[in-house]
Structure formats: structure tokens, C-alpha cells
Structure 1
Amino acid sequence: MAVPKYQAFLLPVLQFAGGGDERSNRDTIEAMAVRFAMSDQDRAERLPSGRQGELDNRVSWAQTYLKQAGLIEPTRRAHFRITDAGKAVLAKPPAHIDVAFLNQFPAFAVFKSKSTPTSDVASTPTVPSPIEVAPVATQTPEEVIADASRDLRAHLATELLEHVLQCSPAFFERLVVDLLRAMGYGGASTSAGRVTGKSGDGGIDGIITEDKLGLDAVYLQAKRWSGNVGRPTVQEFAGAMQGHKADKGVIITTSEFTADARDYVRTISTRIVLIGGRQLVNFMIDHDVGVRIVETHVVRRIDGDYFEGS
């Protein structure tokens, strides 16, 4: 049999998660192959790019969608478990789970609204898989590609944030410096950015020069937190900056900032930029930090100039 489409895996993956405290990605893929009685040939089927197996790819997308709906959650790298919301679904199991079913969960609706151009997620209950997008009457082929690209990016951002959350605090501090350097701060100098490695310094974790000559510096704070960063933390950082006679700083967290914290930075003379987890991973994607290009699609059109005068 052919490898089922990704939506066919949604309910089986959730049921598999419900049967244990923690599941690994690899065990989940194996369980799906057994459940759907796939032959060795089925398991060997690969995407057109040849870079990933169809089964791995579609089970991975099913896991991503269940995570975005809040039905499963990551526990550590390449592992996950069912949530209370997922258990509630299995308590009264539906005949099947598809995107239309997942749209009832607010977190999933927000996820889809960020990864697709439509502003009314509830009105589009059959959003296709990013891998299996099919043209519809209202879409041109270019629009289909753009939609798929947005979904792929949203999927990558989710995976990237999970990886960052598994990093050690020291690694995360280095990541923050690497990102700022990739964004152009400090020029080409390898010494332009450094991790301070100090404690008790108001949370200053790194310093990076703003220009090639090193005339101005940006002070950094890295917070690998799961809870939101509040105003007291930002105030402490601002105080530490004043102790260094610095007027520019950046706080980067894997979570988000409270409204009170964001209001605070707008009222002080010291310039402090707050970067939350979602913005962090999008910057990492834009500047190729922690990611790499594995495939490029080129769209060609007729060169009218070439045929001029023909």
C-alpha cells in the first residue's frame, strides 16, 4: 500500500502517545508502520527530493500538528508525551482527526493563521499538508508554492524552538552572540562578540560591538526560560547597563515577555530591545543560525528580452 497522507496519522499518533508516559519519534514511526501494515517497500518510499522518507515526513507533520493543537507536548529532544487535552480527546475518541477537527483548538487556529495567508482560519477546515499541497481553483501554482513555503517555515520554527529549549544555558548564551554576529553586528572580526560568563552582573551574558571599529557596544542578556520574562528582570538588566555606562541592550528569551515588561522599555531612556522565542527562531532561520538549506526550488519564466526582435 502507498504511505497514507499525513492526516491519516493524526489519530493513531495521538492514540500511541496515550499508551505510555513518553514516546520517541523513532518508536512512533515504527508503530505507525506496523499499524498500517506497511511493507519494506512502503517504508523505503522517499520524497521527490530523496532526502527524507515519506513515512518519516508524514508522521513528523502529524506530530507537529498535534503539538500545535496542544494534544501532545515535547519532553526532551525527539521525545513527546500526551497532554491532558489529548487525553480528553481520547476519552471520547472521534472516528478520525483531521485539520478541521484540530481547528477547534485555539492554539492550532493561531498556528495556522501564522502559516497561511487567510485571516479566517475557521472558514478553511481542509487546509492541505505543507508537503501535499494541491492547487485549488482560487490559487495559481505560485500561490500554492508560497503557501507550502509558509507552512514549511512554521514547522521549522517549531522544531528549532524545541531544540533551543534543550540547549544548556551556556550554549544558549553563545547562540545569542552568534545570532547577533550573523545579523551583522561587529563586522567580520571574530572578537566582535563575546560571552561574559559572569554571574551577579545584573544578567549581562554577552557584549557585542555594533560597528566594525568597535566604537559602540550592545549588551546582551539570554534567558532560556519556559515562563514569561517580567518587568523586574528587565529593570535589573537596565540597572546593570547603567553601571557599565551602556545605552543599548538586547534581551533574548525562548519564552515571551509580559506586557508590563514591554511597557517598561518604552518608558526609559536606555534602549533595550526585547526578542521573544518566536521572533528568535525566525531571526535564526533568516540568518542561517542552527539551520541549513537542504533544497532549493527555482521557478523560471520566459525571458522576453531574449526573444525581442525575433
Structure 2
Amino acid sequence: MTVPEFQTFMVPVLTILSDGQVRHRREVEVPAAEKLGLTAEDFRDAFPSGKTRINDRVQWAITHLCQAGLLARPSRGHVSITARGRETLAEHSDRIDRKVLSRFAEYRDFLNRTKAPSGTAASGSAAGSHAETPRDAIAEAVRESNEALAEEVLQRVLDQSPVFLEQLVLHLLTAMGYGGRAGAIEHWGKSGDGGIDGVVRQDVLGLDRVYVQAKRYAPERTVGRPDIQAFVGALHGRQADRGVFITTSRFSADAGDYVERIPNRIVLIDGRRLAELMILHNVGVQDESTFVLKRIDEDFFDEN
């Protein structure tokens, strides 16, 4: 039989985890497929990259269930069922899909973030069938995958210590090309650092410096103008005029207006942008599959 789409795996995944045990996501894959009656041939069905379709479907099912709050990620790579997951499974033991998950506000927010912009291919499972061209379908699939990945990347960062975030943002700036061979990046992030977590020396003499502050805050917290003013004050103490303030939460409109009016060059990076930059520069993520889209070589067939 054909490996079904990822929504079909949601009930089997929840059923397996309904015993309350915390399992690594790989431990869920085989029993979930077996509950659907998939065959040995189905287990061998793979993409050109080598990743099996069953693995892909189960991972997507877990991602959507986590976004809806039916599953939790108690530790790295592990998942467990939540009280909401038990209740939903009891109510919809035959099938759970996006329509069922959409009853939860967190999942609706997730769908809104992954929804295709106006004028592009339709989002979700309809993307492939309604895209104008194969290129549109591929671009939409990559965009939706990255949106979901950004959510997971940010959650992984939130699960780590504040020091991890401080080191992460410096590593990210390096991956973005700051510091360079002639410069250097230094992590401070200790008592007495004056509100500065790190510094990027853009040249070998350290004449061109960018100071960094990183704050690991819960997503619902807002970083306001007072936080940015304190950062600017710390820059003045270093006789500096430029800095990057990175947070896992978000900035208030007042904070954004403030940095637009002051002479200092301050860049604000919120949690969403942080995750996007990590994906763009392969920090905390890695390439999984590469697809080549071919076209006609017009020169080859040009008689002239």
C-alpha cells in the first residue's frame, strides 16, 4: 500500500504515547507505521536523499501535534502526550487532522505563520495540487518546512540556558560573516559585564566593534524601551555607538521607535528573526535533501 500523508499518522502516534511514557521520536516511527498496517516495502519507500517516507510523515505529524499542544518535548529528541492530547484522542480516536487541531488557538497561530503570502501557491497539503508550476510547488514546500522548523529551533533555544543563547548568537554572527579572519568575537556574559554579553571586533586592532546583548525570555514577554535604553547606556559606558540586541521573545513598538530616533546604530533581532537567521546560515540545523529542477537547454537545440 502507499504510505499515507502525515495527518493519518497523528492518531497512531498519540495512541502509542498514551501510556504516558516519554519516548524518543525515533521510537514512535515503527510502531506507528505498524498500527497503520504498512508493509516491509512501505518501510523501504524513500526519497532520493535516503530519508524514508514513513520517517518524514511521522516527524511532520509530531511537529503539528506539538504545535497544537497535544504533545510536549520534555527533552532533546523526546516527546510525550499532554492532557490535551489525551482528551483529543478520546474524542477523535478515528482520525485527527488539521481541522481537529485548528480548534486550538496555538495551532491556528502556527497556521497563520506558515500561510503562504498573497499571490503565491496555496499553503498546506494543497500546495502541490494548486501551485502554478512545479517550481512554485517546491518553493512553497520549502517555505512551509522552514516555517515549521523555525518554531522547533526557537523552542530548542528556549530549552537551553541563558549562557547557551549568548554563545549561540556570537556563533551566528560569525556564520553571518562578522568578525572575519582579521577580527574576533569574544563572549563576556559574566558578572560585571555591564550589560554586554559579547563583542565583535571587525578589524585586527579592534577599532571597529559591535557589542551584543542576548536575552532568553519566554515568547509571551515583550522587550520594551527601558530594556533598550539600558543597553544603549551600557554602550555609552564603552564609548560605543553600535550594538545588536537579540531576544527569544519580541520587541514592543515603542522599542522599535526608540532605536529609529537615536544616533546609535542598534539592530533588534526578535525570536522569530533569530530562528530564521539560524536556518539561513545553517546554525543548529543542517541540509537534509537537495532537489534539482531541470529545464530545457535552449542553446543545445538552437539550430543557429
Match of 1:19 in 2: 19
1:150 maps to what in 2? Answer: 143
TM-score using structure 2 length: 0.83
Specify the alignment match of 1:183 in structure 2. Answer: 176
Q: 2:272 aligns with which of 264, 275, 278?
A: 278
Q: Does the C-alpha gap of structure 1 residues 90 and 299 become closer, same or farther in structure 2, counting only changes over 3 Å?
A: closer
Give the TM-score normalised by the residue count of structure 1: 0.82
- Which one-letter code corresponds to 2:154 in the other structure? L
Give me the whole-angstrom Cα distance separating, in 2, the residues matched to 1:252 and 1:33. 41
Q: Which stretch shows the higher mean deviation, 13-22 or 244-253?
A: 13-22
1:202 touches 1:236 (CA, 8 Å); kept in 2? Answer: no
Change (3 A) 1:283 1:118: closer
Structure 1 gap ranges (5+): none
| 2:236 is equivalent to residue 242 of structure 1 | yes
Alignment of 1:158-177 (within 5 A): 158-177=151-170
Counting only pairs closer than 5 Å after superposition, residues 48-67 of structure 1 correspond to structure 2 as 48-67=47-66
Identity rate, percent: 42
Question: Equivalent of 1:303, from 277, 293, 297?
Answer: 297
Does residue 135 (structure 1) correspond to residue 132 (structure 2)? The answer is no
What does residue 246 of structure 2 align with? Answer: 252
User: What residue number does 1:103 align with?
Assistant: 102
Q: Does the 8 A contact of 1:10 with 1:63 survive in 2?
A: yes
* Between 259-268 and 273-282, the greater mean CA deviation after superposition: 259-268
Is the contact made by 1:249 and 1:273 (CA closer than 8 Å) also made in structure 2?
Answer: yes
Contact 1:202 1:237 in 2 (8 A): no
Give how far 1:146 is off: 1.4
Q: Which runs of 5+ in 2 are unaligned?
A: none
How far did residue 251 of structure 1 move?
1.6
Structure 1 equivalent of residue 208 of structure 2: 216
Deviation at 1:14, TM superposition (A): 3.1
Match of 1:28 in 2: 28
Picking from 199, 202, 217, the partner of 1:207 is 199
1:37 CA displacement: 4.0
Q: How far is 1:22 from its partner?
A: 3.6
Matches of 2:203 and 2:114, distance apart in 1: 35
2:5 is matched with 5
State the partner residue of 2:74. Answer: 75
Q: What is the 5 A alignment of 1:256-267?
A: 256-267=250-261
Q: What secondary structure sits across from 1:152 in the alignment?
A: helix
> Which letter maps to 2:70?
L
Task: Give the length in aligned residue pairs.
Answer: 300
